């Protein structure tokens, strides 16, 4: 398993280098609040938008090593009863499939531009307590994250964030 992680990280580094991406230089480059610009998953020759067009989201990396990430599909339906405790199973399923929220701690390896997150709590409970690695590239006010661990089970996510002003 460790060897697979090393291979994935190496492959992600090669993809970034080949694409001409400007990697983050320091930990300070990733810290702060970011708003979601785009999110898609590449699975073979398919490009999937798991949160639809124009997803909404925010991520925050604070200087103490804590993070929070929230992503929503635009236009999620309202709960008919106006009470989240009495929403229907169908409403719950639609809303849950259209969002992910998680938080925990993070470290950033400046030498290889690798972000490691340790997830404490998450709406997709299979990730609770899990550690994930993501390749990060920051150019100006734009952060691009390559995530080989997607909640849909297959593919590599590309997430583009813009620094919140």
Tens digits of residue pLDDT in 80-126: 999 999 999 999 999 999 999 999 999 999 999 999 999 999 999 99
Asked if the model's pLDDT at residue 36 lies above 90, the reply is yes
Q: Which residue has the higher pLDDT, 131 or 18?
A: 131
Model confidence, pTM: 0.81
Joined tokens for residue 66: 């804590």
Residue 30 has a CB neighbour count (10 Å cut-off) of 23
Q: How far is the C-alpha of 128 from the C-alpha of 48, rounded, in Å? A: 24
- Options 3.40.50.150, 1.10.579.10, 3.30.930.10, 2.40.128.280; CATH for 2-163 is 2.40.128.280
Structure confidence at residue 68 (pLDDT): 98
Q: How far is the C-alpha of 129 from the C-alpha of 121, rounded, in Å? A: 7
Structure confidence at residue 24 (pLDDT): 54
pLDDT, mean of residues 69-80? 95
CB 42, CB 156: distance < 8 Å: yes
Structure confidence at residue 25 (pLDDT): 78
Domain boundaries, the chain: 2-163
Which of 15-19, 46-50, 148-152 shows the highest mean pLDDT?
A: 46-50
* Strand pairing category for 156-163 and 142-147: antiparallel
Structure confidence at residue 80 (pLDDT): 96
CB 105, CB 66: distance < 8 Å: yes
């Amino acid at each position: 398993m460790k060897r697979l992680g090393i291979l994935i990280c190496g492959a992600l580094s090669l993809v970034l280098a080949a694409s001409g991406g400007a990697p983050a230089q320091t930990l300070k480059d990733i810290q702060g609040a970011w708003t979601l610009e785009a999110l898609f998953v590449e699975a073979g020759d398919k490009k999937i938008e798991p949160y639809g067009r124009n997803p909404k989201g925010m991520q925050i990396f604070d200087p103490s090593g804590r993070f929070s990430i929230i992503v929503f599909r635009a236009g999620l339906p309202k709960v008919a009863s106006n009470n989240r405790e009495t929403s229907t199973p169908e409403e719950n399923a639609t809303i849950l499939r259209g969002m992910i929220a998680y938080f925990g701690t993070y470290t950033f390896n400046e030498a290889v531009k690798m972000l490691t997150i340790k997830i404490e709590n998450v709406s997709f409970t299979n990730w609770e307590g899990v550690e994930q690695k993501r390749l990060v590239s920051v150019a100006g006010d734009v952060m691009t994250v390559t995530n080989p661990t997607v909640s849909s089970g297959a593919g590599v996510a590309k997430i583009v964030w813009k620094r919140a002003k």
